[in-house]
Amino acid sequence: MYFQRDNEIRLSPTGKPVDVIVVFNPLGDIKPVTVRLKDESDNYIKMDITGVKYTKDLIRNTGRSFRCCYMVDNIQNECTVTFYYSLCKWYLET
């Protein structure tokens, strides 16, 4: 969610903060390869990204969302991770 006051964009990210490992191509484009988050017991869960279905720039170029595919127990799953430029943080969207 976003709101603006005096030409300043304030971000109110949705989702859960996560650690993300990315790779960059020679043009500087980002591709997430691993997402790591904590479960309710404070144990880390690691999701290896098998592919990115699509990317979407956020309003007023404040960040970028990635719709990612990953495997758990041989079952294909999808998730959305978003990087907010001004916060320098990744969030797993709910």
- pLDDT tens per residue, range 48-84: 999 999 999 998 889 999 999 999 889 999 999 999 9
CB 66 within 8 A of CB 32: yes
**C-alpha to C-alpha distances, 29 to 22, 25, 45, 66, nearest whole angstrom:** 10, 6, 26, 12
Number of domains in the chain: 1
45 CA to centre of own chain: 15
CB 77 within 8 A of CB 71: yes
Coil, strand or helix at 26: coil
For 31, the domain range is 16-92
- pLDDT tens per residue, range 3-52: 454 455 666 788 999 999 999 999 999 999 999 999 999 999 999 999 99
Confirm whether 71 is domain-assigned. yes
Residues in the chain: 94
Confirm whether 24 is domain-assigned. yes
pTM of the entire predicted model: 0.84
Confirm whether 3 is domain-assigned. no
Confirm whether 29 is domain-assigned. yes
Confirm whether 7 is domain-assigned. no
Coil, strand or helix at 88: coil
Confirm whether 8 is domain-assigned. no
Confirm whether 11 is domain-assigned. no
CB 42 within 8 A of CB 36: no
